[in-house]
Structure formats: C-alpha cells, structure tokens
Structure 1
Amino acid sequence: MLGILYVVATPLGNLEDLSPRAAKILGEVDLIACEDTRHTRKLLNHFAIHTPTTSYHEHNEDAKAPALMIRLQEGKRIALVSDAGTPLLSDPGHRLVQACRENEIPVYPVPGPSAATAALSVSGLPAHRFLFIGFLPRRAALQRAMLEQVSQQDSTLLFYISPHGLLPTLKRIVEILGNRRAFLIREMTKLHETHYFGRLKEVLTTLEQEPARGEYTLVLEGQTSQENPVTSQLDGAAYVAGLIETRGLTQKEAIKQATQELGLSRREIYDQVEAGKARRRE
C-alpha cells in the first residue's frame, strides 16, 4: 500500500493560525519534512506534537527526495512543511511532489497561511488577476532582466524581499517599473507587523529612515496608463532629449533620470525614445 504526502501550510508568525486539521495531520503522520527542524520543532512543541522531523531544504532537496520517496512507497505518511506559510511558494518541494505524481503516490494539500495572498487581501490593489514573482535573483543584472520581463504586465505583482536587500531592490523596481502604487507589509501576523502604502517612491523614502527588519511582502500595481495621470501623458522622448541637451547627459543617464522624474518605467521611456528615432528616419 502506497503512503501519502501532505503539503501542509504553517503559520507566518502567529502560532494560533495553524488550523485544527493541520495540527491533527502533523500529529498523525510518520514523518515531517521541514526546512529547519529547530524552527518547526517550536511549532510542534506549542501543540504538543511529537512526530519525528527531517530536514528538507534547497541545499539537500536532490539528495533527500529519493529517500523520502522510498518511505512513501513503503506506505509511510509524510507531511511537507516550510518555515512559514504554504510550501513550494518560493520554498523547496516541487521535486518531491512531481516524483509523487509520476509514481501515483497521493498528494493532498492542507490549506492555510500564505504571505502572498494575505498581503494581497489587505493591499487595496486589484486582486482579480495577479502574478507571483517571489524573491528576485540576488545579482543586479538578473534582477533587471526579470523586472524587464514583467514591466508590461497589467496584473498586480507580488514580491518577497529579504531585509538585507530591501532598499537596493526597491530602488531598482522604481527605476525599471516606475513609481507605481504599492503596498508593503513586514513581520506579518507578528507583534511588530507594519504596513506601508502609497507611491513606491513615498514608501522608499519612509523606509530609508528606518532599519530593515523581518521579511517583507510587496504588492505592486500592474502597468497602466492611468498610473500617474499627470506624468503618463508627457512625451518621454522629448523629456529625454531635453535632459541630454540641458544637462549634458548620455541617453542612458537621461532615461534613468526620466524614470525617476516622470514616474514611468524605463521600458516605457526607452520605447518612446526609439519610436521617436523611427519617426525621424521616415
């Protein structure tokens, strides 16, 4: 008889957010696979759950998945959890779930907390269609490439941001995506939960005055011509040309400056500049 894999959502911070069903399953399975056994043990101790745990994270996923598959094929029941929230959203686990699907081992979700959907629900931004980005790559060049890919998306965008990269990441988002409406939340469900709402530049200015603490979730407005009713009507190409002429900037420098002053994305302004060049060649 084959075992069962349960994908169990756990609290973001407030331990009381663990559902009764999740607590029951964590207490009944044969093994819990978790990112950090010490972190998960705190949750289990709070609910007097004594199920054995094993580490399963991004650095050992390739080695651990086959061993877990053997136990599942032997009929064991395993719960997969992350340090916080719903597993597989910016967390390891898809290899194990995929292997279960390929070997016809049942996989059941145990729904619960999710930082992405929780932040979206209180953001005040459109929630009918959204794109989950998660953590951006650490290297600046890769960040830029990914942001360029989503710059024309009209869906609401969701990002996870770590504290040490908070300000550089937000500045890069402003530079490439423009000064959009944003909602940022940190320390969700914890004692010092804090919300920031406004244009991204306003949020950034506030954050520059505070130490970065905890994990952040950013909900960002999708691309829209109504993003900034005043500046969105300005001719980016003409503005760049004026910066080059009056300030002696290169085109690259002028486009970067224009994104900051007009609140438009770098891609929008670049496209306007190139369109202007094409018109002049006609």
Structure 2
Amino acid sequence: MSVHTRCVVKGTQGIQTWWRALIAALCAVACVFSLAACGSDKEAGKIRIGIKFDQPGLGFKKAGTYVGFDVDVAKYIAGKLGYSEDKIIWKEAPSKQREAMLQNGDVDMILATYSITDERKKAVSFAGPYFVAGQDLMVRKGETAIHGPQDLNGKRLCSVTGSTSAVTVKAKFASQVQLMEQPGYAECATALFSGIVDAVTTDDIILAGLASASRGRLTVVGKPFTQEYYGIGIKKGDTAFAQQINTALSEMIANGSWQRALAYNTRGAHFKPDLKYNPPVIQKVDEQ
C-alpha cells in the first residue's frame, strides 16, 4: 500500500471516528433536553403509579416487591385499564411531592393515603374516594386506660413531625398531652413498644397496618373522630381517566375484591373500618 493510500485510509477512519463522536454528542444533548423522550422506551406500554414505600399495610416496599391495600387497589385498577402487574412501574410518592409528581408527568396516578381536599383540587384532580379513614389511636395490647381521645390528658402521645394529627387531638380533646414527634410512624410504634409513649395517633388504616405488622403487640382503639377521604390523584382536568378509574373502583367494591384486600392487609390488627363511610360512595367526576 502506498503512502498516499495509507493516508487516505487513515483520513477516512479519522472522519468516521469524528462523525461517530459527533452523533454520540448530539444524542447526549438531545437526552439532556428531552429526558422524558430518552427514557420513554423503557416505560412505553406501562403505567406509572405513585405509592408510599414505608407504610405497612398500605404501601410498603419489601424485598423488591410492593404490598399493601393501596397497592392492591392500584393493581386492580391497572388490570381493568389493561395493564398486567408486570406493566406497572411503582414510584415512591412522598407526601410533599405528590402534586409535583402529577403535574410534571412523573406518574399517571397516585394512591398514597392522599386525602381529597379543596386546596389540593386546585393543583390536581381525584378519582374515588377508595377509602374513608378517620383519625384514631393505637395503644399497647391490654391497655385499659385509653378508650378514646378524651382519655389522653396527662398521657404521652407520639405523632409524625409536621402532621396535623397530634395538633387535632390537643386542640379538641386534651390540652395536657405530652407530645413526642418522630420522623415516621415506625419510630412512633417503636416508642410505643418500649413504653416511652402511651399512644400513637394518625389515620386509623395507617395505624391498622402498623398494628398488623406488630404481630398482636399493638392494637387500634377503634374510635375514629375525623374523616379523611382517600382519593386517587391524577393530572388536573383528566375527567375521562377519572371516570375509567371510578368504574374499576365501583366494580372492585361490588364484587368483594375491595373488602378482601382490606381484610388481608389489616389482618391481626382487629381493625374494622367505619361502616358509616365504608365502602365509600364513589363521587361523580363532575363533583370533583
């Protein structure tokens, strides 16, 4: 091969290398400016559902799987929408991030003890409700001095930092409550186990999940004193999607799947939902 030929070949290879590098760089830039598009192949044909990862009995990540009542309701709805379980992408939905996740399109729907409120309706829409919770108390098994919030004067109460649950109890029932705040309800349950506090307060179904996980050492008092309507959060204004979800929910309640899911995920907790409100009446979409 002549010197000239070798130079031509090397020159051609150099151009090809440069061209491949340019294409790679352009693709990288495109991904930066269109993250959704670059990642869409992995999520094509799937549904993205936001849940809690740290609430036993509701939404709980366990050894790479997801379990709980919220999860079972989500699976049922997804199935009716045409998505098998392997087509569900589970995403953690912390309370403070739920509206942003829906607005940004990070998830298609959220089931994460997400109470329907007028303030939240300004940012997102809701289907449901799929459960009506009530604030309640959890105590150690065998506790005889606490039968409801009226018995909390002088008692030590645990709730999560920033929650309204403890504030409600103190304002309405017991001005002398000694409040301990923890970052999560698992920490409150541990404090209750060890005798540091006398009771834990939040929504009854959250307490039921914790009590179930305690293997009989904790129990829910069973005297709810508020109502929290858990909805399925979706993008603002998507009434057609809300109607599809409501149809699936109505069927789940009618055929007994809702009741079985609730009983299974609260087993061992001696939990009974407030039958005045549960199973819930599904709201019409135009009432959202």
Same fold, TM-score > 0.5, yes or no: no
Q: Which has the larger radius of gyration?
A: 2
So what's the TM-score if we normalise by structure 2?
Answer: 0.29
Ranked by relative contact order (alpha carbons within 8 Å, sequence separation 6 or more), the top structure is 2
